[in-house]
Chain A
Amino acid sequence: MELRVIAIVAGIFFCSDVSAQTPAWSIQPNICVAQRVGDECQLTFRIETQNMPAEPLCLFLDGQLINCSKNSYVSKETSISINKNVLIELKNKAQKTIVSKKLLVKYLDLHDHRRRVRPPWSLF
């Protein structure tokens, strides 16, 4: 019985220790609402980070550099303009992705667009 309790406690401690070491972030808000498909959507979000490595980190939006920090990433507000879902990533100097997340675009008016039945440029 004691052994089982020790194992459970050790497991909880180990898991919490691992999560404490894993870099994590939150981006709020991460959904941008546009009027209709194709419209540019302005999104101002705030990044909160946890357990970031103590090294310079850069923020990328679909592979495009947004900004960098000299040391461990500092949380701050960032404004972007997007017209489709994009991938936002935090990378180190070796271009290794530390954390990543999708930023989504939702539309108020989807009724004036349809999916195409055939792929584009498919005449031949």
Chain B
Amino acid sequence: MFVSSTIVACSADDTCIQKSSWHLGIAFGVGVKTNPLVDGDNIPLVILPDIAWYADKAYFDNGELGYQWLNQAHIAFESFIQFDQERAFFSFLHPANILLPTSGVAPESPIISGEDIKSPQYNLSIDDIANRKWAINGGIRGHYFLSNGEWQLTFQQDISNVHKGQQVGIEYNHRWQWFDFRFGLRTGANWKSARLIDYYYGVSRRDTPFTELYFNGQSGWQPYMSINAQKPINENWSWLANIGYRRLPSSLTSSPLIEQNSIQKIFLGIAYRF
């Protein structure tokens, strides 16, 4: 096996971008992002967009709008806003919403006292709970760049007053090249506050009268790892593969809304860069 490790230059790869021009790409393939929620649908990854635009300081990158205050050879610092991704698990294409009538474990009427009725199950379908809103996070992020890698430290706060929670992230990503293949390894952990966890995964009277299902979400760390591989075919087309794993803490998986203790993601496809 001929293994080489070369520095991935800031060149034709996707990590550098020309200023003041849209960077558009679309990938087609097969993949899935698992949904840890009870009755939550796995998110099919069939079409992946890649949309970015950068000016001197301001930028838009895959849903994140930000302003980079500092951009030097080894360090960078920006502030940004973006949607809190937690909400995505509650809304994506529920077959139950499309094909079947609701048949959850909890009664429809919230006026029935949970003390009078014994629930036969301890899980609660997301089809039967109160609506969770999208939150908008404002954040700051610092980068420390190495020759082939990068450290990131991120803090985010809900600025939309939906849950008023915070999250902190630490990540290391490493890039390398092997023949035509470009690889990226990301590993890190997110700490999510009790307010954030409790808003999305807590269960209270807003969701069900069954008090035995009530759950107070607590803060916790979510470690994760992902590997990305890309092999250019020609100037516009390339093969794209991604696999990722995120571990959910017991402070979250104890929720009756959760039935899996991890989130997995896999995608294999072909990408076109405009």
Chain A residues close to B by CB (< 8 Å): 37-38, 60, 62-63, 83-87, 89, 91, 95, 97, 100, 102, 105, 110, 112-124
A84 contacts across to B, CB distance below 8 A = 8-9, 11-13
- Chain A proximity mask over B5-21: 1 for CB below 8 Å, otherwise 0: 01111111111111100
Q: Identify B18's interface contact among A83, A85, A91, A113, CB under 8 A.
A: A113
A123 contacts across to B, CB distance below 8 A = 48-51, 62-63
B240 contacts across to A, CB distance below 8 A = 121
- Report the separation of the CA atoms of residues A123 and B48 in the bound assembly, to the nearest whole angstrom: 8
- A sample of 23 inter-chain contacts (CB < 8 A) reads A60-B2, A62-B4, A63-B2, A63-B4, A83-B11, A84-B9, A89-B2, A95-B2, A100-B4, A105-B9, A105-B11, A113-B17, A113-B19, A115-B10, A115-B15, A115-B17, A115-B71, A117-B59, A117-B76, A117-B80, A120-B52, A123-B49, A123-B50
Does B184 sit at the interface, judged by CB under 8 A? Answer: yes
- Report the separation of the CA atoms of residues A119 and B226 in the bound assembly, to the nearest whole angstrom: 11
- Report the separation of the CA atoms of residues A38 and B145 in the bound assembly, to the nearest whole angstrom: 21
Chain B residues close to A by CB (< 8 Å): 2, 4, 6-19, 25, 27, 33, 43, 45, 48-52, 54, 59, 61-64, 66, 68, 71, 76, 78, 80, 141, 143, 145, 173, 177, 179-180, 184, 186, 228, 240, 242, 265, 271
Q: Which 5 A-B pairs have the closest CB atoms?
A: A120-B14, A63-B179, A84-B11, A87-B4, A123-B62
A114 contacts across to B, CB distance below 8 A = 16-17, 19, 54, 59, 71
Q: Are A62 and B12 within 8 A (Cβ)?
A: no
